[in-house]
Copies of this chain bind each other. A is one copy, B any other.
Amino acid sequence: MTKTVPVGVSARHIHVSQEHVEILFGKGYELTEFKPLSQPGQYAANETVAVIGSKGQFDKVRILGPVRPETQLEISMTDSFAIGVKAPVRESGSIEGTPGITIKGPAGEVTIDKGVIVAARHIHFHTSDAAKWGIEDKQMLKVRLGGDRGLVLENVLARVSDSFALDMHIDTDEANAAGARNGDTAEIID
């Protein structure tokens, strides 16, 4: 059985807490939706911020909503070298011991003491997809991206939930190394 998954390329983005939304955009401010993402209930917000590292900064980093308990900046390894922040590869939400950064919005700025990660590649499976293919939550998979720059990604984390839609998330380094684009398909080979 061929196990085909759509590819979603994550450019640098940030998740923010409501406390930080209010520091960055003003007291009582709430995020507004620009467009929905592949995962149910998730959206790209209209709001963007600047993030400032020791060697450079990125303007207009997109906020993804809804707000989360903790602020988390997700960048590529290329980005981490460019702005001078030694971000480790981590699963989303696993931010203990990661570096912080300064975040600037139109109403104010905040310096977080942790939360900058390179997101570990992963596939969201709806429970029914995972069951059909015999894949378990937390399993590590091998996934092939085809084309002239074809490659096989190892250690692709499976995440399974009733609230997920089938989608593989890779960052821009991984996408560009493979010559892959948003909406391409990949094949789970092991």
Contacts and interface: CB of A to CB of B under 8 A. Distances in A.
Interface stretch (A29-37, A39-47, A92-100, A149-157): A149-157
A179 interface: yes
Interface in A39-64: none
A154 B155 contact: no
A78 B152 contact: no
B149 A179 contact: no
Contacts of A176: 76-78, 81, 173, 177
Interface string A152-182: 1111000000000000000011101111000
B77 A76 contact: no
Contact of A151 (B89, B151, B179): B151
Interface residues of A, number: 21
A121 B154 CA distance: 19
A173 B78 contact: yes
Contacts of A148: 89, 155
A84 to B, nearest CB: 15
Given A77-B179, A173-B177, A177-B178, 13 more contacts: A77-B176, A81-B176, A89-B149, A89-B179, A121-B149, A149-B154, A149-B155, A151-B152, A152-B152, A153-B177, A173-B176, A176-B177, A177-B177
Interface of A: 76-78, 81, 89, 121, 148-155, 172-174, 176-179
Q: Which 6 A-B pairs have the closest CB atoms?
A: A77-B176, A177-B177, A150-B154, A152-B152, A173-B176, A174-B177
